[in-house]
Amino acid sequence: MIDAGSLRKEKLFLTLLAKQHISPQDIDLIIITHAHFDHIGSLAAIKEICGCHVLAHPVEAQIMREGEVVIPPGTNMLGSAANCLGKIARPLLAFKPVESEITVDCEYDLGEFGVNGKILPTPGHTIGSLSVLLGNGNALVGDLAANLPGLTVYPPFAEMPDEIYSSWDLILRQGAQNIFPAHGRPFSINRIKNSLEKLNCFSYGMA
Ligand SMILES: [Zn+2]
Ligand SMILES: [Zn+2]
């Protein structure tokens, strides 16, 4: 499982799981793409229901251990406005601290969990952001990209704005075909490739 939703989503989680005929005990691992409240709000409850381990980057693991509510800086006007609102709402976003049994800060093969895929560190949205790249080319990238109506796929929030491009370059070179962002519908890697080529720092030859 990747990420665990915002606060009080455990009942919805159980409903959706039942629809897929999956038992909570079938989940061995929850991979956390990053420690923002909308990805870990229900993590403590869901971890307990599943009795599973949590995997995160050491930086994000520390945030979750301390229960720190991080409000990310905006990369555009929309993001900056949301950042201000988030700071006001911070006390409402408090989550139960969670311990991560596995911490990962380099490429990590998921074969031991029966998954044909790997974890890649993809900093930018946060310092310790992780992505999951499956063998079929599907990349689950958390908030490394977003697909929101009328906006580019560049995320509206980022702690390290320039690193977004380097991480995009990494997942592209690693063979990602389809991007599954945490916010919005999946989209083709071509949107990322085109954005990078416009920057002129990255070249991928003829497709
Ligand atoms: Zn985020
Ligand atoms: Zn998010």
3 part of a folded domain:
no
5 part of a folded domain:
no
Instruction: Give the ligand whose atoms come closest to the C-alpha of residue 127.
Output: 1
In Å, what is the CA distance from 108 to each residue of 57, 101, 111, 166, 192? 11, 15, 9, 19, 23
Q: pLDDT value at position 70?
A: 93
Q: How many domains does the chain have?
A: 1
Q: pLDDT value at position 78?
A: 87
Instruction: Give the ligand whose atoms come closest to the C-alpha of residue 38.
Output: 2
Q: Is the pLDDT of residue 205 over 90?
A: no
Report the CATH number at residue 90.
Answer: 3.60.15.10
Q: How far is the CA of 11 from the centre of ligand 1 (A)?
A: 22
State the pTM of this model.
0.95
Percent share of the chain, pLDDT over 70: 98
111 part of a folded domain:
yes
Can you tell me the mean pLDDT for 18-30? 97
Q: How far is the CA of 36 from the centre of ligand 1 (A)?
A: 5
Q: How far is the CA of 22 from the centre of ligand 2 (A)?
A: 25
DSSP-assigned states of every residue in 1-56: -B---STT-HHHHHHHHHHTT--GGG--EEE-S---HHHHTTHHHHHHHHT-EEEE
Q: How far is the CA of 33 from the centre of ligand 1 (A)?
A: 9
4 part of a folded domain:
no
Q: How far is the CA of 183 from the centre of ligand 1 (A)?
A: 9
**Domain range for 150:** 10-199
